Amino acid sequence: MSTPSMATPTCHTSKKADVILLCGDLNLHPKDLGFRLLKEWTGLHDAYLETQDFKGSEEGCTMVPENCYVNQQELEPFPCGIRIDYVLYKAVSGFCISCKTLKTTTGHDPHSGTPLSDHEALMATLCVRHSPPQHNPSPTHGPAERSPLISVLREACTELDLGVAQARWWASFATYMIGLGLLILAVLSALVAEGGIREVAILLWTLSVGLVLGVGAVYLFHLQEAKGLCRARAELQHVLGRAREAQNLGPEFEPALFLLHQEGDKTED
């Protein structure tokens, strides 16, 4: 079965499928946190790492300097190119899937010579066959750092904590600016009531109203951003707790696991 992909929208199958494919342009480097989180959380396999036969660009890069459509300035940190297009796959119990071959173009179309896109095309040959259900042995006891999923989840939680802190800082800053704008409006209203310079006061009053409205929009934006990040963090904390339970780490990790669930519940509230 051949699965072509060339910077196309990401497509996937449903949860009830026997085989799950995720193919396309993810705009993520293999070492990016987003890609590692996706790969470890879902259990998808990278065709480039799993294939028995690869032919194409060096290190499987899908944006290469040889492509005339590629912005060379974007590739300055990656002189050999970058891999951001993927063929990911996974099979459920009762099936086995493997990648026999994976090919990519190398900066030009093999027929016309002119590249079809700024991304290189991928073609994977996958082999799907029935497999008897296998019983997974119980995980061995050991530190949580041995689990790649737990390590990635911790890193993602740290990044979300930084994002929440930054969003809350901007929301607090916007609150102070709103208060300052309202104070200026009150002073200008008092000056107008006392018969001060009306033209200047009205001009400053208009600017102050615009300031309050603009900063109010910034406040609402960052407030919603903080709430969304908190919900994502709570979900990751829940998954982290489940991963630790599955790891069967022992009773010494139970207090920490309880704190993780407690923090997630507070965040959801």
- The catalytic residue positions are 119
Ramachandran assignment for 81, one of left (phi > 0), alpha (psi -120 to 50 degrees), beta (any other) = left
Rg of the chain over CA atoms, in angstroms?
Answer: 27
Strand-strand pairing, 53-55 and 95-104:
parallel
d(CA 61, CA 50): 16
Q: Which residues have CB under 8 Å from 247's CB, separation 6+?
A: 139, 142, 144, 147, 150
d(CA 162, CA 171): 14
The Cα angle at residue 88 between residues 86 and 90, in degrees rounded to 5: 180
